Chains A and B, each alone.
Chain A
Amino acid sequence: DAGVIQSPRHEVTEMGQEVTLRCKPISGHDYLFWYRQTMMRGLELLIYFNNNVPIDDSGMPEDRFSAKMPNASFSTLKIQPSEPRDSAVYFCASSKQPRMDRGNSYEQYFGPGTRLTVT
């Protein structure tokens, strides 16, 4: 299995520009999560999807942030317009639907991240 794939790995952009981050989850996983990691705030959950439907976007910081999941194998996180304070590493993660009869847990598998720098 290729694992969770994110692109680009690094993005440098100027303030005010639109930024789109991409994620391909592990095939067969039902959940997809977007996180942001900074030194100041640690790891923050931004939004997550179940079967392509957004379930909880309470962590999305502002209306400048939006996320979509048009199908089971692709998701995007868009920032428009970008600001220097958006500089962070953005992670995508995916997980299977847990099954009570098998005691499966909710472990998430993380992608390598996209390091975003907004100047």
Chain B
Amino acid sequence: AQSVTQLDSHVSVSEGTPVLLRCNYSSSYSPSLFWYVQHPNKGLQLLLKYTSAATLVKGINGFEAEFKKSETSFHLTKPSAHMSDAAEYFCVVSPRWGGATNKLIFGTGTLLAVQP
């Protein structure tokens, strides 16, 4: 079975400071992992994905995430926050080769606030 836990429901940072959004996963299969972002009143947009290639994954808008199997973590980071980064972020897990399903399992989301 797969599951994902986002450790913080809210994170607040100042513009120009680093962002860290934490995610731990549990998966019986070798997982694919994703981060999606949702701006207010918008749909979900894929930020980045991990599918067993490089463990450090670079995404859009300067975000990156590192897959750490030993820690079962996939934390999202950005060196310098921008006001436009204020949004809700979802960590997502899926079994890579599907098996009986290709469902995505979504975390509960982390709301990122960026202060001027």
List A residues at the B interface (Cβ < 8 Å).
4, 31, 42-43, 45, 48, 55-56, 91, 93, 95, 98, 100, 103-113, 115
Q: List 21 A-B contacts (CB under 8 A).
A: A4-B43, A42-B106, A42-B109, A48-B103, A91-B44, A93-B44, A95-B102, A98-B96, A103-B51, A105-B51, A106-B94, A106-B104, A107-B34, A107-B46, A107-B49, A108-B46, A109-B46, A110-B43, A110-B44, A111-B43, A112-B43
User: Would A98 and B102 be within 8 Å (CB), given that A107-B34, A109-B46, A113-B43 are in contact?
Assistant: yes
Of the listed residues A103, A104, A105, A108, the one surrounded by the most CB atoms of chain B closer than 10 A to its CB is: A105
Question: Are B43 and A56 interface neighbours, CB within 8 A?
Answer: no
Question: Are A98 and B46 interface neighbours, CB within 8 A?
Answer: no
Interface SS of B by simple majority: loop
B101: chain A residues within 8 A (beta carbon): 55-56
Instruction: Looking at the assembled complex, report how far the CB atom of B28 sits from the nearest CB atom of chain A, in whole angstroms.
Output: 16
Q: In whole angstroms, what is the CA distance A107 to B45 when docked?
A: 10
Which residue on B lies nearest to A4, using beta carbons? B43
B45: chain A residues within 8 A (beta carbon): 110
**Contact residues, B7-53 vs A (CB, 8 A):** 32, 34, 36, 41-46, 49, 51-53
B49: chain A residues within 8 A (beta carbon): 105, 107
A91: chain B residues within 8 A (beta carbon): 43-44
Question: Are A43 and B90 interface neighbours, CB within 8 A?
Answer: yes
Instruction: Looking at the assembled complex, report how far the CB atom of A15 sits from the nearest CB atom of chain B, in whole angstroms.
Output: 24
Of the listed residues A55, A95, A100, A110, the one surrounded by the most CB atoms of chain B closer than 10 A to its CB is: A110
Contact of B96 among A93, A105, A108 (CB under 8 A): A105
Question: Are A106 and B43 interface neighbours, CB within 8 A?
Answer: no
B98 located at the interface, meaning its Cβ lies under 8 Å from any Cβ of chain A in the complex: yes
A109: chain B residues within 8 A (beta carbon): 46
Question: Are B46 and A42 interface neighbours, CB within 8 A?
Answer: no
Which residue on A lies nearest to B32, using beta carbons? A105
Which residue on B lies nearest to A111, using beta carbons? B43
**Contact residues, B39-71 vs A (CB, 8 A):** 41-46, 49, 51-53
